[in-house]
């Protein structure tokens, strides 16, 4: 049941069951009952489809979704036994005085509990919204990360990267090709390790290039010669050349 509760959405929790598209079954959140789509079931003297059968099952075996959720383990709900009494009273439509009498408290205590539950519900909405935003951001970051690993993927560049580089992250060059066309491609990829608009010292340039290729001096010089980067005449400052 714990796994079902964890996997279920708010709407699924409210209806008391989940639909599994892989098995094409409706699965009760409170027991192991399941009903397969396409079949007709006899439940409580009714012949119904799978979804209706599940709703009747919950009513017959678990009284109601509210009762079934409320009877779940405190570790899952965070609701104490005393709070369950108040919630049951609210759900049954009892007055504050009636609930106070059944719980051996005062009407003011009941009103406070009613207010407290409403405030917790508001907080829960914000937590759910933050959780959804966080999950969406994680998914977006994963997609972006995968895209970066594959970039560039136009006109077979990914295949070229695999030919000339040992790895992409971190970027490590296998060998500096003797063919000029390949050299231009290699230099273009290496130049992407530098950010546009940033001024680098020669030491900083070397620190970026050293892990990429042992002969970093050659790479640094050819980045300049091929126009990917520019530098001051005294070599004190380097920067990415604007296109």
Q: Are 186 and 173 in contact (CB under 8 A)?
A: yes
E runs forming strands in the chain: 17-20, 25-28, 34-36, 41-43, 46-48, 165-167, 172-173, 229-231, 238-240
Residue 128 confidence (pLDDT): 82
**Which tokens is 30 given?**
């409170």
pTM over 0.85: no
Residues of the chain with pLDDT under 70: 1-3, 142-156, 243
Token pair of 89, please? Answer: 């009273």
Q: What is the pLDDT of residue 117?
A: 87
- Cα–Cα distance, 113 to 83 (Å, whole number): 8
Q: With H, G, I as helix, E, B as strand and everything else as coil, classify residue 29.
A: coil
Distance CA 53, CA 16 (A): 12
Residue 198, pLDDT score: 92
Alpha-carbon distance of 141 to 221, in angstroms, equals: 35
For residue range 113-144, what is the model confidence (pLDDT) as tens digits? 888 888 888 888 888 888 888 888 887 776 65
Nearest to 128 by CA among 5, 1, 4, 9: 9
> 3-state class of 72 per DSSP?
coil
SS3 118: helix
User: For residues 32 and 44, is the Cβ–Cβ distance under 8 A?
Assistant: no
> What pairing do the DSSP bridges indicate for beta strands 25-28 and 17-20?
antiparallel
Distance of alpha carbon 61 from alpha carbon 72, whole angstroms = 15
Q: Which domains does the chain have, with CATH numbers?
A: 2-116 (no CATH), 158-240 (1.10.10)
How many CB atoms are closer than 10 A to CB 135? 10
Coil, strand, or helix at residue 17?
strand
Residue 138 is predicted with a pLDDT of 81
* DSSP secondary structure letters along 164-195: HEEETTTTEES---SSHHHHHHHHHHHHTTS-
Angle, helices 180-191/216-225, rounded to nearest 10 degrees: 100
């Amino acid at each position: 049941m714990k796994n079902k509760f964890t996997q279920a959405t708010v709407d699924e929790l409210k209806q008391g069951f989940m639909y599994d598209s892989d098995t094409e079954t409706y699965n009760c959140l409170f027991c192991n009952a399941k009903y397969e789509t396409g079949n007709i079931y006899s439940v409580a003297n009714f012949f119904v489809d799978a979804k209706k059968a599940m709703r009747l099952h919950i009513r017959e075996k678990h009284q109601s979704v509210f009762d079934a959720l409320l009877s779940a383990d405190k570790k899952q709900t965070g609701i104490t036994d005393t709070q369950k009494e108040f919630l049951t009273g609210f759900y049954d439509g009892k007055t504050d005085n009636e609930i106070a009498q059944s719980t051996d408290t005062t009407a003011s205590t009941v009103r406070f509990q009613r207010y407290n539950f409403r405030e917790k519900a508001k907080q829960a909405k914000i937590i759910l919204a933050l959780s959804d935003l966080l999950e969406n951001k994680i998914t977006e970051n994963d997609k972006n990360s995968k895209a970066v690993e594959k970039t560039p993927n136009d006109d077979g560049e990914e295949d070229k990267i695999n030919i000339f580089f040992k790895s992409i992250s971190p970027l490590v060059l296998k060998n500096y090709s003797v063919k000029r066309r390949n050299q231009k491609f290699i230099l273009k990829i290496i130049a992407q390790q530098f950010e546009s608009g940033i001024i680098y010292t020669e030491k900083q340039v070397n620190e970026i290039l050293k892990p990429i290729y042992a002969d970093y001096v050659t790479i640094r010089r050819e980045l300049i010669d091929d126009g990917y980067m520019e530098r001051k005449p005294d070599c004190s400052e380097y920067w990415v050349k604007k296109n």
